Structure 1
């Protein structure tokens, strides 16, 4: 557990925090991540909507993005993306007074050993504490990580992305396949469920008959990119948990390339939750346009949720599906 490592580091004096001032915590996911710290001092940054909402409900002072100004120390909980981890570390160090401590915590599965190695090549780092499949260590804030600062990039098609968002190097193959398979005519009200940085949304808005498109995305950084990439006045943007989002009225179409990882672990149930949400927000004659990896077990859920289910294309890795006429069950 992360809290065990952090508590051990602080209790033994291996790492120390200033006695006063706010503590900036980047990337926490749950209460365990925060257990070692005084809640009244924490100012946390978490852009993933479900984690942000959960921690906010526990009484933590939350922001969707940084930097945190006025903090006396920072804790960076490493994400899996190396580029995003570097950007978080650079942001934390740049926002603190020179010489203030930056504590780094990460799991081996998230690449903490590589980050430790890269930091040691640039600046002094404390001896790491290794426990519970991870490491905790610290360095002092200074200018050494300035070149790790996150910079927006332009990818194929003129889209903007930032480090850490899904498919930051360009549109993923599944989304490209689905965009090409969408019909020329998509009349009415559509929802891009899990819209990311807006690739599929732009494809939807290029079709005839679209009156409105909701972009629903849990990753605040990705949605910020989508606002830049999709400037059509028919688009509306929602930072939300897609599995709980309720469309404003019955949608005519839902377009979806659902995730199937929850945190570090594969979780096909997350994709199924997207399918249930899609079925629940569609009109009686509405349809779902779906791309998913072929190995994912969505067939049963689709048949339980829709009267008409048809494979419409794909390739060896991805399946394209149109599912229409959601089944309404009596309560």
Structure 2
């Protein structure tokens, strides 16, 4: 959410002053002006590092939009994410929490599709108004009697026994990179394994199908994805961690890490995110630990593997993907050389 656009909307009266207004804010991060100005609002933030920052500011925070049942909100503000399906789901669920006179405000950048949301919603809202500024749009309207239920996301089935959720990575089905990595895994893995960036759990299920695995840690920052993983992976050997995979550390060193790390921050490609996953994997492993990862062919991870591990090689791949295996991390968990 652009602070320039938000400040303009506040000054023009498109957003009411927060005092005495029961407000729900969905999707805003701790650095936004909403977090600064709406100190009595209920915030919804599924991404764990942002959730923690809001909590540290003293805000009331939930990891997901609450179910109806409490007193209705007077105002709901949605800062749309890039994923259209998640944005629509948030809008539909937030609208159900408003009374008929409740005010719905939606804000986002043009590059995140805000104009398409405006086209869908302006005919459903009472007295719709819009502000375009700073390469984006903020629009508002009364909840009224319009229907929003068709915008709510339905669980997507991805293969036998799996469901995904709106806005998660590879929400429409099994990711080809994860499938390639699973096919390249050895028949037997060490006893203690972690899946960093576990998503909705498909790769984790394939890890648990390997011989030798006694415990698997699923580490995922997106609460929506991890909730799907809990439904998909019911094996008692699995433990679930809602946290940032780049900073998570196990209680005791692991025998292996298997991962398909993300490489986008927002819309932009960011190889440093994958590099941070590699460093985190090295820090989580025992001295003889192993890393298995898949990456898009163009991503430059080899130098990071050389820095973090004594041995590494590409063990499989295609024109689209490379399967990398590394072993014997160079650093201990405290950062000293082995």
Residue 265 of structure 1: CA displacement?
2.1
Alignment of 1:193-208 (within 5 A): 193-208=196-211
Q: TM-score, normalised by structure 2?
A: 0.93
Partners of 2:82 and 2:266 within 8 A in 1: no
Query: Are the aligned partners of 1:15 and 1:137 in contact in 2 as well (CA < 8 Å)?
Result: no
Structure 1, unaligned runs of 5 or more? none
TM-score by length of 1: 0.95
Instruction: Spell out the pairing of 1:65-144 with structure 2 (5 A cutoff).
Output: 65-67=64-66, 69-70=70-71, 71-124=73-126, 126-141=128-143, 142-144=145-147
Shift of 1:11: 1.4
Larger deviation, residues 286-295 vs 18-27: 18-27
Q: How does 1:294-309 map to 2 (within 5 A)?
A: 294-309=297-312
> Residue 54 of structure 1 corresponds to which residue in structure 2?
53
- The aligned counterpart of 2:43 is 44
Structure 1 runs of 4+ off > 6 angstroms?
Answer: none
Q: Following the alignment from structure 1 to structure 2, what is the Cα–Cα distance between the partners of residues 57 and 194? A: 24
CA distance in 2, matches of 1:150, 1:143: 18
C-alpha separation in 1, matches of 2:284 and 2:161: 31
Deviations 1:144-192 (A, max 9, x none): 1111122222112321111111111111110000011111101310000
In 2, are the aligned partners of 1:23 and 1:72 still within 8 Å (CA)? yes
Q: Secondary structure at the match of 1:186?
A: coil
Question: In structure 2, what is the Cα distance between the partners aligned to 1:157 and 1:170?
Answer: 11
The CA distance in 1 between the partners of 2:127 and 2:139, in whole Å, is 7
Aligned to 1:155: 158
RMSD in angstroms over aligned alpha carbons?
1.7
Equivalent residue pairs, number: 330
Match of 1:318?
321
Q: CA deviation at 1:31?
A: 2.2
SS in 2 for 1:98: strand
Is residue 129–residue 141 contact of structure 2 (8 Å, CA) maintained in 1? no
1:72-126 Cα distance to aligned partner (Å, 9 max, x none): 2110000111111111100111011112001110001110011111112434463
Mapped to 1, the partners of 2:18 and 2:265 lie a distance apart of 34
Residue range with higher mean Cα deviation, 43-52 or 29-38: 29-38
- Asked if residue 171 in structure 1 is aligned to residue 174 in structure 2, the reply is yes
Mapped contact 1:94–1:143 kept (Cα < 8 A): no
User: Which ranges in structure 2 are unaligned for 5 or more consecutive residues?
Assistant: none
Tell me the equivalent position of 2:336.
330
Q: Secondary structure at the match of 2:287?
A: strand
Structure 2 CA distance for aligned equivalents of residues 263 and 277 of structure 1: 21
Worse-superposed segment, 209-218 or 4-13:
4-13
How far, CA to CA, are the matches of 2:313 and 2:18 in structure 1? 60
CA contact (8 A) 1:287 1:323 kept: yes
Residue in 2 that maps onto 1:267? 270
